[in-house]
Structure 1
Amino acid sequence: MKLLTNVRKLLLLQQSPKQRLITTARTITKISQPHDEAEPALTSSELDELERNCEMRHHKNNIPLIRQLVQALHSTGQTGQDQEQTRRQLEEQLELLPNATHPRLLGYDNQPLELANYKHRVLPEQGVAKEFSDLARALNLYRMDHLGNYTGHKSYYLTGQLAMMEQAIIQYALQSITRQGFKLISVPDILPRNIIEACGMRTEGERTQVYKLDTGECLSGTSEMALAGFFAQRQLAEQELPVKVAAVSRCYRAETSGLHEEKGIYRVHQFTKVEMFAIATPEQSEQILEQFKNTEIALFKQLGINFRLLDMPPCELGAPAYQKYDIEAWMPGRQMWGEISSCSNCTDYQAKRLQIKYRRDSDGSLAYAHTINGTATAIPRLLIALIESYQGAGNGNGNDSIQIPEVLVPFMNGQRTITKNKKVPEIKLVKFIKST
C-alpha cells in the first residue's frame, strides 16, 4: 500500500531549531529533529500520486494549493508571522485530503462490482406491487403529508403496527449482534464539530449534511461518530483488540432529494439506525470488515428480502473509507435497488485524528489503531423493502395486508400480519371555513 506509506511522510517542515512539524493527510504530529535536516519528505511525483487519488475518488483536489503553500513556507521572503499563517493554512488543507484507496478498487471505473445477489421471495410483477407510501397510508400506519408547519420538511410519523415493527427490527438486530460479542453503548446525539470532522464529515460548506446548533455543536449524522469519539485520546492494550461496540440512535441529515424514486421516507432528515463499530489493529481490520459484511448479510437473509452485495468504487468511498461494501435491497413497489446498509474500513484515518492508539505487545510501542463501521439496520429504507416485499393481495374488499417476517414475530407479540390500524384516527384535512 504505497500510497499509505507516502501519506504518512507527507511533509517535513522546519518549525524551530529543535522541533519540526510532520503533517500527514490524517493528522499533525510534532517530533524532534535536528534543524539542518529540514527538507520536504515527499517528492513532486508522490504529490502527483496523492492528486490522482483525489481525482479518482471525486474528492475536492486541493493538491495544487498544497504545493503553493509548501513553496511559500520555504520562501526566504516570508516573515515569521507569515510563515505561521501559511503553516496553519497548510494544516487545514492537509486535513481535507481523503484516505488512501484499496488497490483492488483501482480498476472499477466509477462502477460498483456486484459480488452476490440473494433472492428469497417471489415478488409481485411490475405494475402490481404497491409502493410503501400507498400501502402504509391505506393501512393508516404512516403520515408524511402536510407536516411542514410544525415538524419540518422530510419528517414522518409511524403509527400502530408499523411503529411496532420499527421497534421489532431494532430488537432483532440487537439480539443478533450482541450474540456476536458487540457491547451496547447508549450515545449522545449532540457532538462537538471536531469529533464529526475527525470522522470525515465536513460541518461547513454549501453541501454539508450536518445540522449545526447555535451553541456551535452539531447533531450527529450517525452513531459511528459518537462511538469513535468515545475512544478519542485512548490508549488500548493490543490484547484488548478488537473492541466491538454497537449503538441505537437517531441520525440527523440535512440532505434533501427531489428524485421521484427517493420520495417518502427513503431520504429523510432524521431516522433510527443500529450501528456497529470496531477498534482493531492494522492486521485485524480487513478481517473485521469481512465479519461486519457477513453479519449484515445474515441479518437480511433471515428477514427474507431480495438484496445484493456491492464492492464500492473509489468515487463512492467518501473521505475516510479505504474500502466499503454496500447492500442494496430490491424494492418492488418502486422497482429499484435501494441502499439499506454499508460497512467500511477506515484504517487509521479516524484514529489519527482522534488519537486512538494501542500499545503493541511485541515491543511496548504505541501505534494508531484502525476503525471499522457498519450498519446493522437503518429503519426507514429497511421498512420500505420489507413492506413492499411482504405485501399481500388484499382480501377482496380493498383492504391490504402485510405479512410479518418470521424472525420479527417474537418481537411483535406473536403477531404475523399487519392490517389496517383502526385505533389511530385517520387524518382528514379540510379547509377552515370562516364564520360570518
Structure 2
Amino acid sequence: MHDIRLIRDNPEAFDQGLAKRFLEPQSDEILRLDRKRRDAVGRQQEAETERNTLSKQIGQAKARGDEDEFNRLRAEVDRLKSVLEESGADAAKFEEALNQHLAGLPNIPMDDVPVGKDEADNEEVRGWGTPKEFSFTPKDHVDLGEGLGQLDFERAAAMSGARFAVLQGGLARLERALAQFMLDVHTSEHGFTEVSPPYMVRDGAMFGTGQLPKFAEDLFHTDDDRWLIPTAEVPLTNLFRDAIHAEGDFPARLTAYTPCFRAEAGSAGRDTRGLIRMHQFQKVEMVCVTRPEESEDELERMTNCAEEILRRLELPYRVMLLSSGDMGFGARKTYDLEVWLPSQDTYREISSCSNCGDFQARRMNARFRREGEKKPEFLHTLNGSGVAVGRAMLAVMENHQNEDGSITIPDVLRPYMGGLEVLGA
C-alpha cells in the first residue's frame, strides 16, 4: 500500500515511479478520491461539532421553559443527523474507493533498479562457478528421474492432474535432505529462527503480502474461505501484523520449510515438462522484518545467504538485478539467483530475494516504536527463497549426473543421505 501523504506532497514523483512500471499516471484520480473523502470527513466533523453545541442549547432552552426554541433546536439536530449519516456514508464510500485504487498499484522501484519491460532488461551482477563440460550428452532431470524409477508424473496426473509429481526412494530422500541442509545452514550459521507456520490463511493475510486482490486467480481457495499459501512469505510476514513492536526486536530473521501451492493460471504452455513449474512444490523461505534504514543491507545479506546454499551444492549460478518491469508486485528491488541447467544450456531462476520497503507493512499495519519516541513507524519487510527445494534437486540431478544415469551426491548432502555417495537405480 502507498502512503497517501507522500502522493499529496509529490504527485509527480509518484507518477514517475509508476512510469518505471510502464503504468499510466494515477495521482490525479487518487487525489480526487482523497479530496472527496476529506471533504466528506470535514462535513461530518462540522455537523458533529454543531450538533454537540445545539445539544447544550436544547438543555438550556428546556431549563428556561422556552418550548419554541426547544422545538426549533430539536428540528435542527434532526437535520444534522441526516447530514451526519450522509457525510459518513460518503466518507466511507470514497475511502473504500481510494483504498481499492491504491491496493491495485504495485510498489515503486528503487532508484538503482534498471528500467525495462521484462527479463531481457535484467542486469547480471555477478556469477559463481563454471558450467561443467560433460563427455556425454547430459540428460534432463525428467529422463534421469524416470530412468532411476523414482520420478513419476503419470501416476501423479492420474490422481491430481497435470503439474504434479511423485518422488520415491532416493529422490524423495534427496528432496528431504536438501531441505534439512538448507534449514541447518540458515538457522545455525545465518541467524534465522525456524518457524513451522500454517499452510492455510485468511483473506487478510493474503492482502497483507500483496497476493490479494490482484492475484486471486493464481491461488488455491478452499470452500471455507481460506487460501493455500503460495509461499511461506505469507504466514511468516503476517506474524508482525496489527501490532506495534519494540525497536529492539529487529532485525527479525525467520525461515520455514513448507509446501507451496500455486494455480499457475498465467503460465499456460510454460515449462510443462518436469519440475520447474508445479502446482505443489517445497521451498525453504527466508523473511526479514527490520527498521527502514537497515533494509538495503538486509537484502544484500539475504541474497548472500541463498548464494551460500548454491555454492555448497557446487551449482554454478548468476545473480541478476531485475528490471522494473520484471519485478514482483510488492517489491522495490529484487535479485534473482539463476542456476545452471545443463539440459537447457541456460540459467533458470532458483531464488528471488526482494526488499518490499514499507509496502507490505502498511497493508498489514505492522509498526515499531523507536526508544524514546512516541510516534510509531512502519517496518520494512524482505523475503527470499532459501532456496526452492524442487529446483535445487533438479539442478543437483543435472549438474552432478553421470553417464550411466546415476547422480553423485554433493559432499554437504551425504550426512543427510546416510552417507550415500551415488544415487543409482
**Structure 1 residue 97: Cα displacement:** 2.0
**Structure 1 residue 303: Cα displacement:** 0.4
| 1:354-393 pair list within 5 angstroms | 354-393=364-403
Q: Give me the whole-angstrom Cα distance separating, in 1, the residues matched to 2:171 and 2:142.
A: 12
Q: 2:5 is matched by which residue type in structure 1?
A: K
Q: Give me the whole-angstrom Cα distance separating, in 2, the residues matched to 1:177 and 1:412.
A: 19
Are residue 9 (structure 1) and residue 19 (structure 2) matched? Answer: no
TM-score, with normalisation over the residues of structure 1?
A: 0.80
Q: Give me the whole-angstrom Cα distance separating, in 2, the residues matched to 1:61 and 1:212.
A: 33
| 1:162-201 pair list within 5 angstroms | 162-179=171-188, 180-201=190-211
Select the residue among 86, 97, 108 that pairs with 1:89.
97
| Residue 57 (structure 1) aligns with | 21
Asked if the contact 2:115–2:324 (Cα under 8 Å) also holds between the matched residues in 1, the reply is no
Select the residue among 409, 416, 421 that pairs with 1:416.
421
Q: 2:243 is matched by which residue type in structure 1?
A: R
Select the residue among 54, 60, 66 that pairs with 2:30.
66
Asked if the contact 2:238–2:364 (Cα under 8 Å) also holds between the matched residues in 1, the reply is yes
Are residue 112 (structure 1) and residue 122 (structure 2) matched? Answer: yes
| Residue 152 (structure 1) aligns with | 161
CA gap of 1:96–1:239, structure 2 versus 1, over 3 A, is same
Select the residue among 337, 341, 344 that pairs with 2:351.
341
Asked if the contact 2:407–2:424 (Cα under 8 Å) also holds between the matched residues in 1, the reply is yes
SS across alignment from 1:155: coil
SS across alignment from 1:264: coil
**Structure 1 residue 235: Cα displacement:** 2.3
Asked if the contact 2:150–2:168 (Cα under 8 Å) also holds between the matched residues in 1, the reply is yes
| Residue 403 (structure 1) aligns with | 408
Q: Give me the whole-angstrom Cα distance separating, in 1, the residues matched to 2:376 and 2:192.
A: 25
Asked if the contact 1:236–1:359 (Cα under 8 Å) also holds between the matched residues in 2, the reply is yes
- Aligned residue pairs, count: 377
| Residue 253 (structure 1) aligns with | 262
Which stretch shows the higher mean deviation, 100-109 or 335-344?
A: 100-109
CA gap of 1:234–1:87, structure 2 versus 1, over 3 A, is closer
SS across alignment from 1:283: helix
SS across alignment from 2:281: strand
**Structure 1 residue 159: Cα displacement:** 0.7
| 1:285-296 pair list within 5 angstroms | 285-296=295-306
Identity of aligned residues (%): 27
Asked if the contact 2:117–2:326 (Cα under 8 Å) also holds between the matched residues in 1, the reply is no
| 1:125-164 pair list within 5 angstroms | 128-145=137-154, 147-164=156-173
Are residue 225 (structure 1) and residue 230 (structure 2) matched? Answer: no
TM-score, with normalisation over the residues of structure 2?
A: 0.82
Asked if the contact 1:120–1:304 (Cα under 8 Å) also holds between the matched residues in 2, the reply is no
**Structure 1 residue 75: Cα displacement:** 8.4
| 1:251-281 deviation line (CA, Å, top 9, x unaligned) | 1101053446552211000111111111111
SS across alignment from 2:222: coil
Q: Give me the whole-angstrom Cα distance separating, in 2, the residues matched to 1:203 and 1:356.
A: 19
Q: 2:192 is matched by which residue type in structure 1?
A: F
SS across alignment from 2:242: coil
Q: Give me the whole-angstrom Cα distance separating, in 2, the residues matched to 1:174 and 1:350.
A: 25
Query: Where do 5+ consecutive residues of structure 1 fail to align?
Result: 12-40, 395-399, 421-436
SS across alignment from 1:150: helix
CA gap of 1:258–1:356, structure 2 versus 1, over 3 A, is closer
Q: Give me the whole-angstrom Cα distance separating, in 2, the residues matched to 1:147 and 1:262.
A: 14
| 1:214-363 pair list within 5 angstroms | 214-255=223-264, 257-259=267-269, 261-363=271-373
**Structure 1 residue 61: Cα displacement:** 6.8
